[in-house]
């Protein structure tokens, strides 16, 4: 008897499989493409690889700020892409190795849920039947394609995260529809390599959901780097290489060699027999409770397929919650301390409430913020760079409820804030923590003391 | 806070007559307070100045808790402040120490030498540990000499209790609550939210709290009070509606031809019938006032009006003086005034009307039980018109349109027989209505 069937080998599925296998469960994982899912193959990892190449290039170009000059600095797009492929291959085989060492049976192929009976849940794959006590669905999400007139006709001009990563040549110009995290990271990458980038965003600010002030600062930085931003802009038509949008009642047109569609992602709930179980959906995703249980006993869902908090680290933790509960450890999923990072240059990182979300929820809070220049190492390493660190605490008790940062390397610092929020640490406890000196992370300590 | 009676555990401050900084004379009233049964006033026992008032109006204060500090301005009162009510303990530690431990808490105070029933002997080490971990000393069993609480007792309690986050400890300390079961934080740690009512955080906050408008509060209060304070029940009865349907047709024609200056609706006709019935049943046209019953010589008709801001029930005074045309026009004016917000607020008081009509017939409601606007004795709910079989005599049965009438009455004021006869009278008035066009 199989203890746990897992459909999808992304960050939810493979981490759950790893933990469950480690705990001694009999696990079968189905993956139709490559282990690691979107994150490893078409998302987080490849983009970070590209962005690092861009960062090195940019640093080399502007080395003279630090007294280091180089001549004839150039990049080789093909090499950048082939290195990305190498990194992905390495990490995918790493995941495969983990499956092996934790005794997880990986079945390559499209799984299909047949039924649920007294025997268990039946899944077929490659003509084989598998019956498991439990089923974890982590089929992830795909780029959502809105019904914009002319989109289909535009053909290969239109890219999603998947196609843009497969490009072998750098486009001379790129229009990014949707200035969210994915859109901004590609905008950053191609801007660094000299592509003319135009961002078209429907909302009043880029990076919706992040701290408004931080998002606006990042937009300013990129506007100075040459990215053109069109906010409050609703795309009404695509005509070949042209994107037509309405802004404040007027119609504008922008043009790009390629057009990146990054307007959000939608859960994959069709095509694998989910309907045979009668699993309840909520806003297009699978409805789950705080233990990632669906309405069907023994059937769980984790990751993007739930339709909210579409992040690899959310997915992994959700998968772990499922396994913990299956292996006798009571565990529930918390969403109040999930960090979000944008790997632009400079990076943006945030966790917990923003001023906007706190206001919307009616949380009484206090806020303090300082420029990144209060951290000595930031000044040493970011010539002419700007940044900010903002901390939100509960008004009454001073517990940390949100931290938002702009500046390198925020992505590596933010987990400290996650721990503080998870632990409900107040300013008092934070003040007693020793931070290494000199590091950029000290900015958090500075802000804590500025309350 | 004086203890008023054996069963009283706390009192609510109704009025603070003296606030921080006020000079008081012995015998002056400091504050008024009430229990659930009676209200009291507390006089100042001394001359002086109010240095601190620990509680405000509306606060619930445990009995024997300190309420105010009266002294001379500039006097050092830090010694009188301790962290929280649960920490009321007398000990040998210099009182200044206590304020260092929790300088930002002026939640409650105790005069160091006042004795309370909660007094426990506790070692300084134990006390510090208990304070740090938000453990109420009153809940500890002392195993030291003479039942003195020692550090070990606090440690034992700590081991038994789920781990708490720093915020949870603070909240526990302030609110005097303790975690009962394992929490929802890291590895089952108790978070502040676990000390409050349980919530399902999976979808984030799936609701929104909105402050009630004053109007909503008033409706809520009066409707709840009505059901709480009276003996309501409802009788349902159908009236043959053929007559008023025919009159409605005639009225429409008459209006179109310019013979009458009103659009007389079915509701107008029902109200007209109700007024006529009320004139014949003075027992119903009344306010029930407990010891007395007030009989009105005139009919002041209340009409339930649905507006964007909520339910309004304006009164049409002296409705029995009006012809059907006058009634129709004035009811329309009232409803419009309610919807536009220009209605005279005095006319919205339940006391302004002697009887109320609530018509849901337009919406297709078949039966409902309207809630009485106290102190009125009854309310009529008007339902939709439905076909019902009727014996037309000579063995002829036919479907005849009937209008549903639901009379809710206060059984304290009226008996079933009286109410039924009144309801029947309304039906008769509806079935035999005469209007001259």
Quickly list DSSP for A380-419.
Answer: HH-TT---EEEEEEETTT-BEEEEEEESTTHHHHHHHHHH
Task: Say whether the ipTM exceeds 0.90.
Answer: no
- Give the position of tokens 């309420």: B67
Looking at chain B, the whole-number percentage of residues with pLDDT higher than 70 is 86
**Considering CB atoms only, which of B165, B171, B200 is closest to A290?**
B200
Candidates A58, A79, A11, A27; CA nearest to A314 is A11
Whether residues B185 and A288 touch (CB distance < 8 A) is answered with no
Chain B residues inside the 8 Å CB shell of A424: 165-168, 185, 191-192
What mean pLDDT is reported for chain B?
Answer: 82
> Where a domain ends, among A211, A229, A263?
A263
Alpha-carbon distance of A182 to A46, in angstroms, equals 12
Alpha-carbon distance of A451 to A393, in angstroms, equals 9
- Give the position of tokens 């797009």: A77
Residue A334, in any domain of the structure: no
- Where does the pLDDT of residue B87 fall: very low under 50, low under 70, confident under 90, or very high at 90 and above? very low
Nearest residue of chain A to residue B211 (CA atoms): A362
Whether residues A426 and B170 touch (CB distance < 8 A) is answered with yes
Whether residues B202 and A361 touch (CB distance < 8 A) is answered with no
The pLDDT score that the predictor gives to residue B7 is 67
Whether residues B166 and A425 touch (CB distance < 8 A) is answered with yes
Mean pLDDT (whole number) for A419-425? 95
Helix (H, G, I), strand (E, B) or coil at B407: strand
Residues A230 and A292 in one domain: no
The pLDDT score that the predictor gives to residue A136 is 97
DSSP-assigned letters across all residues of A349-385: EEEE--HHHHHHHT--EEEEEEEGGGSHHHHHH-TT-
Contacts made by residues A163-167, CB under 8 angstroms, sequence distance 24+: A164/A258, A164/A260, A165/A42, A165/A46, A165/A47, A165/A50, A165/A84, A167/A81, A167/A258
Q: What is the pTM of this model?
A: 0.61
Secondary structure string (H, E, C) spanning B189-240 = CECHHHHCCCCCCCCCCCCCCCCCCHHHHHHHHHHHHHHHHCCEEEEEEEEE
Q: Which residues of B341-351 are buried (b: 16+ CB within 10 A; e: fewer)?
A: eebeeebbebe
CB pairs under 8 A between A and B: 53
From the candidates A424, A430, A432, A448, which should be mutated to test the interface with B, based on the most B CB atoms within 10 A? A424
Rg (CA), chain B: 33
Residues A179 and A286 in one domain: no
Active site residue A103: no
Mean pLDDT (whole number) for A301-313? 95
Whether residues B185 and A308 touch (CB distance < 8 A) is answered with no
Residues A6 and A130 in one domain: yes
Q: Which residues of A138-165 are buried (b: 16+ CB within 10 A; e: fewer)?
A: bbbbbbeeeebebbeebeebbbbbeebb
Tell me which residues of chain B have a C-beta less than 8 Å from any C-beta of chain A. 165-168, 170-171, 182, 184-186, 188-189, 191-192, 200-205, 209
The answer to whether B411 and B231 are in contact (CB under 8 A) is: yes
Chain A residues inside the 8 Å CB shell of B134: none
Alpha-carbon distance of B171 to B191, in angstroms, equals 10
The pLDDT score that the predictor gives to residue B215 is 75
The pLDDT score that the predictor gives to residue B189 is 87
**Considering CB atoms only, which of B189, B191, B209 is closest to A362?**
B209
Omega within 30 of 0 (cis) for the link into B375: yes
Taken in order B306, B308, B309, B310, the sign of the CA dihedral is: positive
Whether residues B188 and A330 touch (CB distance < 8 A) is answered with yes
Residue A148, in any domain of the structure: no
Alpha-carbon distance of A52 to A449, in angstroms, equals 34
Q: Which of A331-345, A389-403, B207-221 has the lowest mean pLDDT?
A: B207-221
**Considering CB atoms only, which of B170, B171, B185 is closest to A422?**
B185
Chain B residues inside the 8 Å CB shell of A308: 203-204
Q: Write out the two tokens for A192.
A: 């660094």
Residue A271, sorted as left (phi over 0), alpha (psi -120 to 50) or beta, turns out to be left
Whether residues B166 and A394 touch (CB distance < 8 A) is answered with no
Mean pLDDT (whole number) for B87-101? 40
pLDDT of B431 above 80 = yes
Alpha-carbon distance of B273 to B264, in angstroms, equals 13
Compute how many other C-beta atoms are within 10 angstroms of the C-beta atom of residue B242. 16
Residues A407 and A319 in one domain: no
Nearest residue of chain A to residue B204 (CA atoms): A335
For A207-320, strand residue ranges (E) read: 228-230, 234-239, 242-247, 250-255, 258-261, 265-267, 281-282, 285-286, 299-301
Chain A residues inside the 8 Å CB shell of B202: 288-290, 333, 335
Residue A396, in any domain of the structure: yes
Q: Write out the two tokens for A77.
A: 């797009």
Residues A284 and A254 in one domain: no
- Chain-centroid distance of CA B293 in Å reads 26
The answer to whether A176 and A263 are in contact (CB under 8 A) is: no
Closest approach of chain A CAs to the CA of B57, in angstroms? 21
Alpha-carbon distance of B189 to B183, in angstroms, equals 5
Burial class of residue A328 in the structure, from the number of CB atoms within 10 Å of its CB (0-12 exposed, 13-18 middle, 19+ buried): exposed
Whether residues A332 and B166 touch (CB distance < 8 A) is answered with no
Whether residues A423 and B165 touch (CB distance < 8 A) is answered with yes
Candidates B344, B359, B347; CA nearest to B272 is B359
**Considering CB atoms only, which of A290, A334, A426 is closest to B166?**
A426
- Give the position of tokens 């971990």: B133
- Give the position of tokens 């929020």: A421
Residues A31 and A82 in one domain: yes
Q: pLDDT tens digits for B44-85? A: 888 888 888 888 887 888 888 888 888 888 787 776 764 444
Q: Which of A200-214, A230-244, A354-368, B93-107 has the lowest mean pLDDT?
A: B93-107
Chain A residues inside the 8 Å CB shell of B201: 290, 334-336
Whether residues A399 and B203 touch (CB distance < 8 A) is answered with no
Number of structural domains (chain A) is: 3
Residues A161 and A258 in one domain: yes
Closest approach of chain B CAs to the CA of A310, in angstroms? 13
DSSP state letter for B122: B
Whether residues A425 and B201 touch (CB distance < 8 A) is answered with no
- Where does the pLDDT of residue B402 fall: very low under 50, low under 70, confident under 90, or very high at 90 and above? very high
**Considering CB atoms only, which of A361, A399, A422 is closest to B186?**
A422
Q: Which residues, including other chains, have CB under 8 Å from residue B180's CB and lie 6 or more apart?
A: none
**Considering CB atoms only, which of B168, B201, B205 is closest to A424?**
B168
Closest approach of chain A CAs to the CA of B45, in angstroms? 35
- Give the position of tokens 């000196």: A437
| Fold for the domain defined by B215-431 | Chloramphenicol Acetyltransferase (3.30.559)
Closest approach of chain B CAs to the CA of A381, in angstroms? 35
pLDDT of B91 above 50 = no
Tell me which residues of chain A have a C-beta less than 8 Å from any C-beta of chain B. 282, 288-290, 308, 330, 332-336, 361-362, 394, 397, 399, 422-426, 428-429
Q: pLDDT tens digits for A113-170? A: 999 999 999 999 999 999 999 999 999 999 999 999 999 999 899 999 999 999 999 9
pLDDT of B94 above 50 = no
Mean pLDDT (whole number) for A418-447? 95
Looking at chain A, the whole-number percentage of residues with pLDDT higher than 90 is 97
Residues A273 and A253 in one domain: no
Residues A434 and A293 in one domain: no
pLDDT of A415 above 50 = yes
Whether residues B205 and A361 touch (CB distance < 8 A) is answered with yes
The pLDDT score that the predictor gives to residue A46 is 96
The pLDDT score that the predictor gives to residue B98 is 40
Chain B residues inside the 8 Å CB shell of A422: 185-186
The pLDDT score that the predictor gives to residue B5 is 66
Taken in order B17, B23, B27, B28, the sign of the CA dihedral is: negative
Q: Write out the two tokens for B289.
A: 């006032």
Nearest residue of chain A to residue B172 (CA atoms): A397
What mean pLDDT is reported for chain A?
Answer: 95
Residues A38 and A136 in one domain: yes
Chain B residues inside the 8 Å CB shell of A329: none
**Considering CB atoms only, which of A288, A422, A425 is closest to B202?**
A288
Q: Write out the two tokens for B214.
A: 């004053």
Helix (H, G, I), strand (E, B) or coil at A287: coil
- Give the position of tokens 């069937």: A5
The pLDDT score that the predictor gives to residue B156 is 85
Compute how many other C-beta atoms are within 10 angstroms of the C-beta atom of residue A234. 12
Q: pLDDT tens digits for B137-194? A: 777 888 888 888 888 888 888 887 888 888 888 888 777 777 777 788 888 888 888 8
The pLDDT score that the predictor gives to residue B6 is 65
Please give the helix or strand (H or E) that residue A1 lies within, else none.
Answer: none
Domain that holds residue A236: 155-263
Alpha-carbon distance of A17 to A21, in angstroms, equals 6
> Where a domain ends, among A263, A287, A307?
A263
Whether residues B171 and A288 touch (CB distance < 8 A) is answered with no
Chain A residues inside the 8 Å CB shell of B192: 397, 399, 424
The pLDDT score that the predictor gives to residue B129 is 87
| CATH number of the domain where residue A82 is located | 3.50.50.60
Nearest residue of chain A to residue B174 (CA atoms): A397
Mean pLDDT (whole number) for A243-267? 95
Please give the helix or strand (H or E) that residue A45 lies within, else none.
Answer: helix A44-61
Alpha-carbon distance of A93 to A110, in angstroms, equals 20
Compute how many other C-beta atoms are within 10 angstroms of the C-beta atom of residue A267. 25
Whether residues B166 and A308 touch (CB distance < 8 A) is answered with no
> Where a domain ends, among A275, A301, A326?
A326
- Where does the pLDDT of residue A92 fall: very low under 50, low under 70, confident under 90, or very high at 90 and above? very high
Whether residues B166 and A334 touch (CB distance < 8 A) is answered with no
Residues A374 and A406 in one domain: yes
Residues A256 and A274 in one domain: no
- Where does the pLDDT of residue A251 fall: very low under 50, low under 70, confident under 90, or very high at 90 and above? very high
Residue A355, in any domain of the structure: yes
Candidates A179, A264, A182, A259; CA nearest to A219 is A179
């Amino acid at each position: 008897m199989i203890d746990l069937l897992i459909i999808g080998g992304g960050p939810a599925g493979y981490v759950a499989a790893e933990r469950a296998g480690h705990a001694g469960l009999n696990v079968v994982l189905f993956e139709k493409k490559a282990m690691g899912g979107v994150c490893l193959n078409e998302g987080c990892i490849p983009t970070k690889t590209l962005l690092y190449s861009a960062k090195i290039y940019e640093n080399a170009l502007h080395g003279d700020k630090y007294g280091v000059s180089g001549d004839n600095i150039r990049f080789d797009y093909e090499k950048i892409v082939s290195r990305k492929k190498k990194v992905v291959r390495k990490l995918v085989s790493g995941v495969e190795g983990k499956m092996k060492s934790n005794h997880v049976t990986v079945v390559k192929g499209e799984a299909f849920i047949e039924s649920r009976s007294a025997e268990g849940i039946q899944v077929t794959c490659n003509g084989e039947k598998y019956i498991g006590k439990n089923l974890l669905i982590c089929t992830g999400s795909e780029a959502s394609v809105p019904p914009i007139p002319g989109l289909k006709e535009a053909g290969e001009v239109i890219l999603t995260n998947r196609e843009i990563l497969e490009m072998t040549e750098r486009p001379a110009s790129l229009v990014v529809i949707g200035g969210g995290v994915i859109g901004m990271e590609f905008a950053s990458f191609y801007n660094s390599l000299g592509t003319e980038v135009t961002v078209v965003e429907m909302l009043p600010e880029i990076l919706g959901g992040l701290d408004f002030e931080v998002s606006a600062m990042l937009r300013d930085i990129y506007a100075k780097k040459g990215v053109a931003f069109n906010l409050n802009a609703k795309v009404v038509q695509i005509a070949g290489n042209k994107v037509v949008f309405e802004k404040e009642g007027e119609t504008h047109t922008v043009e790009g060699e390629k057009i990146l569609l990054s307007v959000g992602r939608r859960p994959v709930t069709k095509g694998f027999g989910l309907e045979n179980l009668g699993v309840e959906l909520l806003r297009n995703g699978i409805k789950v409770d705080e233990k990632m249980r669906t309405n069907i006993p023994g059937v769980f869902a984790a990751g993007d397929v739930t339709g909210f908090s579409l992040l690899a680290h959310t997915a992994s933790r959700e998968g772990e919650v499922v396994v913990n509960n299956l292996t006798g450890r009571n565990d529930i999923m918390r969403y109040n301390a999930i960090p979000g990072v944008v790997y632009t240059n400079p990076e943006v990182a945030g966790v917990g409430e923003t001023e906007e979300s706190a206001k919307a929820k009616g949380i009484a809070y206090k806020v303090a913020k300082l420029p990144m220049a209060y951290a000595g190492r930031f000044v040493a390493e970011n010539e002419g760079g700007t940044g900010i660190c903002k901390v939100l605490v509960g008004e009454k008790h001073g517990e940390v409820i949100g931290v938002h940062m702009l500046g390198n390397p925020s992505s590596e610092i933010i987990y400290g804030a996650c721990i503080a929020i998870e632990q409900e640490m107040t300013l008092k406890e934070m003040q007693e923590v020793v931070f290494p000196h000199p590091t950029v992370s000290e900015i958090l300590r500075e802000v804590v003391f500025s309350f | 806070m004086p203890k008023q009676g054996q069963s009283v555990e706390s009192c609510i401050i109704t009025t603070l007559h003296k606030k921080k900084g006020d000079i008081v004379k012995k015998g002056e009233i400091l504050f008024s307070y009430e229990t659930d049964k009676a209200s009291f006033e507390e006089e100042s026992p001394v001359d002086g100045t109010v240095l601190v008032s620990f509680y405000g109006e509306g606060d619930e204060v445990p009995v024997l808790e300190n309420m105010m500090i009266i002294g001379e301005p500039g006097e050092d009162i830090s010694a009188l402040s301790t962290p929280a009510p649960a920490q009321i303990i007398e000990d040998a530690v210099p009182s200044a120490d206590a304020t260092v431990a929790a300088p930002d808490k002026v939640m409650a105070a105790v005069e160091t030498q006042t004795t309370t029933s909660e007094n426990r002997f506790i070692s300084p080490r134990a006390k510090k540990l208990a304070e740090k971990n938000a453990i109420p000393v009153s809940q500890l069993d002392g195993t030291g000499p003479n039942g003195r609480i020692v550090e070990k007792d606090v440690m034992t309690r700590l081991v038994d209790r789920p781990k708490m986050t720093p915020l949870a400890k603070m909240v526990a300390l302030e609110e005097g609550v303790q975690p009962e079961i394992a929490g929802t934080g890291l590895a089952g740690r108790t978070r502040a939210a676990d000390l409050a009512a349980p919530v399902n955080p999976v979808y984030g906050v799936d609701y929104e709290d909105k402050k009630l408008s004053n109007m909503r509060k008033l409706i809520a209060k009066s409707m709840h009070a009505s059901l709480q304070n009276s003996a309501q029940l409802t009788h349902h009865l159908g009236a043959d509606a053929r007559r008023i349907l025919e009159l409605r047709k005639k009225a429409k024609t008459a209006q179109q031809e310019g013979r009458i200056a009103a659009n007389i609706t079915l509701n107008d006709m029902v109200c007209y019938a109700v007024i006529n019935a009320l004139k014949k049943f003075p027992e119903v046209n009344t306010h029930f006032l407990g010891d007395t019953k007030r009989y009105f010589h005139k009919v002041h008709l209340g009409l339930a009006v649905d507006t964007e801001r909520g339910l309004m029930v304006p009164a049409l005074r002296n409705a029995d003086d009006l012809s059907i045309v006058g009634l129709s026009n004035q009811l329309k004016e009232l409803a419009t005034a309610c919807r536009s917000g220009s209605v005279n607020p005095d006319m919205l008081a339940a006391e302004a009307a002697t009887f109320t009509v609530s018509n849901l017939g337009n919406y297709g409601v078949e039966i409902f039980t309207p809630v009485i606007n106290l102190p009125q004795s009854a309310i009529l709910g008007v339902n939709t018109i439905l076909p019902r079989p009727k014996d037309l005599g000579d063995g002829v049965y036919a479907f005849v349109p009937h209008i549903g009438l639901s009379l809710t009455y206060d059984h304290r004021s009226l008996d079933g027989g009286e109410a039924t006869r009144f309801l029947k009278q309304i039906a008769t008035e509806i079935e035999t209505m005469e209007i001259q066009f």
